[in-house]
């Protein structure tokens, strides 16, 4: 019965697609899909925040505000364990690093994301964050929105460029919906996902952003994620402080990225011991949350305390539910500890089996770092007074800029979130200073860094993008005629007559490459029959001018062809076993085709 239902459903989709191709142009269909993607992305965001809110309300509503709570030591571990069970037995796939996965799909998989990504990240991250996991919901929603765009594009058989556009629509709709910030969603797609914006692609992305924002207002009301009222407009004499804040944010971004990378490496060493990871990461996370409850969940409520407060008594509410509660003199220490430990809490959450992103942690660290900077500045009277609330906002923009290498996203996101458009000038100063600082140390965002190291990152550089899109597997030719090194020359001639190319690989019993017979190099003796009994393959074979590893990046492959001027190069695995050959002619043919496709309007 289920098979019949599935076949009927598939047939109905097929008939609709055929009808669509006949009556609706691909351009019109793209605009319709952009609207649908925006709607579905806002629904996904609404459900995720609903799950998080309900779980947190159920678990923490009875907590005392003026003292510590021992259950903070237990809830995060339970949440991570439940998430890991859900991923292992229900999803059965890796759904971590949401935005990195979207970048990877664009770069190497023709923008194809699996169907379960349309919902699995929502459930998994909802459980993780609801129970206290110190991560963000934005990356899972971006993955969800992108997966919705990808799967709709696959259903309607859109071409490769339209698929990339629909994935971009999903990502931008996710950011626009979560933050009610359509412009930030648009520039996020441009800066972080590096999707080229032409006039043809601008309209669909705008439609998805506006649609997601409007439906989020319908679902969740008109309240803003951050409660901010500008009471201290920007003044020119605060420019030095803004520049220094930007530099501080750039250095904090570097600290965040390097520490996150180190922690990921540490947890990767325990990949075969899931329970060790759970216990190790869970204990780190729960201990930090017990000491600093502001690390619980996304942490937006703690930032709102800093934005709404006007004095130390009001700001001190951020220490509620902790051992610091009631000790206003320890406020700066508490803020500093949250600023520098949030990255460990985030790494422990994801590393031990939780699911969530680094977008919200970047905002939280930025907000606390901005407040920390301004409070120290004012306490020690370094210069002219700077408002802590304003610098909290600017710190958020500065960290987003540094971590994501996305200054426009930082500027417009914070401006749209808070309605603080009067802070445009200081926001720009902070973001530019942050970007210039982080660029000295890192040339890629935290999302692109992993792919860049593997040579799998698609960029606006056409030459590099073409190399990234080239698949090693599709270039390897396996039509070769292997021979042994002890083969006499008279039998070699017979083997040459059966070969389809000028190269015969010489392999041992295990298939390991020993050398090659290049027919063009032995042409002067191959017809001298009197030499047949005096030579064996071992004496005639040559070492290849270069060898390609099966996991080698395409830019390195191209460099080897350029340096050696070889017509063919062998591809081997880590043990030296021959996997096939790559032809110079085929490489350049595929390369020219991809460049032409990218350059086409």
- Whichever domain contains 451, its CATH number is 1.10.3080.10
536-575, pLDDT tens digit by residue? 777 777 888 888 888 787 777 878 878 887 878 888 888 8
- Alpha carbon distance 150, 393 (integer Å): 34
Are residue 205 and residue 256 in the same domain, yes or no?
no
Are residue 252 and residue 198 in the same domain, yes or no?
no
160-213, pLDDT tens digit by residue? 888 888 998 999 999 999 999 999 999 988 888 766 666 777 899 999 999 999
Are residue 454 and residue 469 in the same domain, yes or no?
no
Q: What pTM was estimated for this model as a whole?
A: 0.78
Looking at the structure of the chain, the number of domains it has is 3
Is residue 138 predicted with pLDDT exceeding 80?
yes
CA torsion, ordered 160, 161, 164, 165, to nearest 10 deg: -140
Mode of pairing for the β-strands spanning 568-572 and 548-549? parallel
345-383, pLDDT tens digit by residue? 999 999 998 998 889 999 999 999 999 999 999 998 888
417-437, pLDDT tens digit by residue? 776 578 889 999 999 999 999
519, part of any domain: yes
Q: Which residue has the tokens 């009197």?
A: 530
**Which pLDDT does position 595 carry in this prediction?**
58
Domain that includes residue 46, residue range: 21-220
514, part of any domain: yes
Are residue 375 and residue 471 in the same domain, yes or no?
no
What's the rounded mean pLDDT across residues 73-83?
Answer: 93
Of 410, 435, 458, which closes a domain? 458
Are residue 85 and residue 35 in the same domain, yes or no?
yes
266-302, pLDDT tens digit by residue? 998 888 888 899 999 999 999 999 999 999 989 899 9
Are residue 390 and residue 534 in the same domain, yes or no?
no
Of 399, 431, 458, which closes a domain? 458
Mean pLDDT of the chain: 84
483, part of any domain: yes
Are residue 197 and residue 287 in the same domain, yes or no?
no
With H, G, I as helix, E, B as strand and everything else as coil, classify residue 578.
strand
Are residue 157 and residue 196 in the same domain, yes or no?
yes
- Alpha carbon distance 105, 557 (integer Å): 22
Are residue 73 and residue 182 in the same domain, yes or no?
yes
Are residue 568 and residue 482 in the same domain, yes or no?
yes
Name the token pair of 253. 């971004």
225, part of any domain: no
Q: Which residues of 132-151 are buried (b: 16+ CB within 10 A; e: fewer)?
A: bbbbbbbbbbbbbbbbbbbb
Of 220, 251, 282, which closes a domain? 220
16, part of any domain: no
211, part of any domain: yes
Is residue 334 predicted with pLDDT exceeding 60?
yes
Are residue 157 and residue 26 in the same domain, yes or no?
yes
Are residue 482 and residue 528 in the same domain, yes or no?
yes
With H, G, I as helix, E, B as strand and everything else as coil, classify residue 428.
helix
Residue 513 host element (H or E): strand 513-518
* Sign (positive or negative) of CA dihedral 492, 493, 499, 500: positive
10, part of any domain: no
- Measure Cα distances from 392 to 11, 366, 372 in Å: 55, 7, 8
**Which pLDDT does position 5 carry in this prediction?**
45
**Which pLDDT does position 1 carry in this prediction?**
45
We report the CATH number of the domain holding residue 579 as: 3.10.580.10
6, part of any domain: no
512-540, pLDDT tens digit by residue? 888 887 777 776 666 666 666 667 777 77
342 backbone dihedrals φ, ψ, rounded to 5° = -55, -40
**Which pLDDT does position 526 carry in this prediction?**
66
Give the percent of the chain with pLDDT over 70.
86
């Amino acid at each position: 019965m289920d098979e019949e239902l599935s076949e009927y459903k598939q047939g109905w989709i097929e008939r609709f697609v055929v009808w669509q191709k006949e009556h609706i142009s691909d351009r019109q269909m793209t605009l319709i899909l952009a609207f649908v993607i925006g709607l579905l992305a806002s629904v996904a965001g609404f459900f995720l925040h609903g799950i998080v809110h309900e779980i947190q309300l159920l678990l923490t509503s009875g907590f005392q505000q003026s003292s510590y709570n021992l259950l903070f030591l237990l809830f995060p571990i339970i949440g991570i364990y439940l998430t890991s069970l859900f991923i292992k037995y229900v999803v059965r796939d890796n759904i971590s690093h949401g935005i990195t996965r979207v970048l990877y799909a664009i770069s190497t998989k023709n923008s194809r994301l699996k169907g379960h990504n349309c919902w699995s990240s929502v459930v998994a991250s909802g459980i993780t964050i609801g129970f206290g996991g110190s991560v963000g919901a934005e990356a899972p929603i971006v993955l969800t929105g992108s997966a919705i765009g990808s799967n709709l594009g696959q259903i309607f058989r859109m071409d490769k460029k339209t698929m990339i556009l629909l994935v971009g629509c999903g990502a931008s709709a996710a950011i626009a919906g979560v933050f009610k910030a359509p412009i930030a969603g648009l520039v996020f797609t441009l800066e972080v996902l590096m999707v080229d914006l032409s006039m043809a692609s601008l309209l669909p992305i705008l439609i998805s952003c506006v649609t997601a924002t409007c439906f989020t207002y319908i679902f969740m009301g008109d309240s803003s994620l951050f409660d901010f009222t500008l009471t201290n407009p920007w003044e020119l004499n605060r420019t030095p402080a803004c520049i220094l804040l930007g530099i501080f944010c750039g250095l904090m971004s570097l600290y965040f990225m390097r520490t996150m990378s180190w922690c990921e490496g540490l947890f990767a060493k325990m990949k075969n011991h899931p329970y060790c990871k759970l216990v190790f990461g869970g204990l780190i996370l729960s201990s930090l949350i017990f000491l600093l409850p502001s690390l619980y969940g996304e942490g937006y409520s703690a930032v709102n305390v800093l934005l709404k407060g006007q004095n130390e008594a009001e700001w001190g509410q951020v220490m509620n539910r902790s051992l610091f509660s009631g000790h206003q003199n320890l406020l700066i220490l508490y803020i500093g500890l949250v600023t520098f430990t949030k990255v460990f809490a985030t790494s422990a959450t994801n590393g031990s089996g939780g699911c969530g992103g680094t977008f919200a942690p970047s905002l939280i660290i930025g907000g606390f770092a901005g407040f920390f900077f301004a409070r120290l500045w004012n306490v020690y009277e370094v210069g002219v007074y700077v408002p802590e609330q304003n610098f909290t906002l600017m710190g958020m923009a500065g960290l987003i800029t540094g971590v994501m290498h996305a200054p426009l996203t930082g500027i417009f996101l914070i401006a749209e979130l808070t309605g603080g458009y009067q802070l445009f000038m200081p926001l720009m100063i902070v973001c530019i200073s942050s970007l210039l600082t982080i660029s000295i140390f890192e040339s890629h965002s935290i999302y692109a860094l992993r792919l860049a190291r593997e040579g799998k990152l698609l960029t606006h550089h056409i030459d590099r993008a073409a190399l990234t899109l080239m698949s090693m597997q599709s270039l390897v030719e396996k039509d070769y005629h292997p021979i042994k090194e002890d083969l006499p020359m008279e039998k070699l001639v017979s083997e040459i007559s059966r070969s389809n190319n000028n190269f015969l690989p010489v392999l041992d019993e295990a298939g390991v490459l020993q050398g090659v017979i290049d027919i063009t190099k032995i042409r002067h003796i191959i017809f001298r029959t009197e030499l047949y009994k005096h030579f064996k393959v071992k004496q005639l074979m040559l070492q290849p001018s270069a060898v390609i590893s099966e996991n080698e990046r395409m830019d390195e492959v191209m460099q080897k062809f350029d340096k050696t001027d070889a017509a063919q190069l062998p591809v081997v695995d880590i043990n030296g076993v021959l996997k096939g050959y790559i032809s110079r002619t085929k490489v350049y043919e595929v390369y020219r085709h991809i460049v032409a496709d990218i350059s086409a309007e």
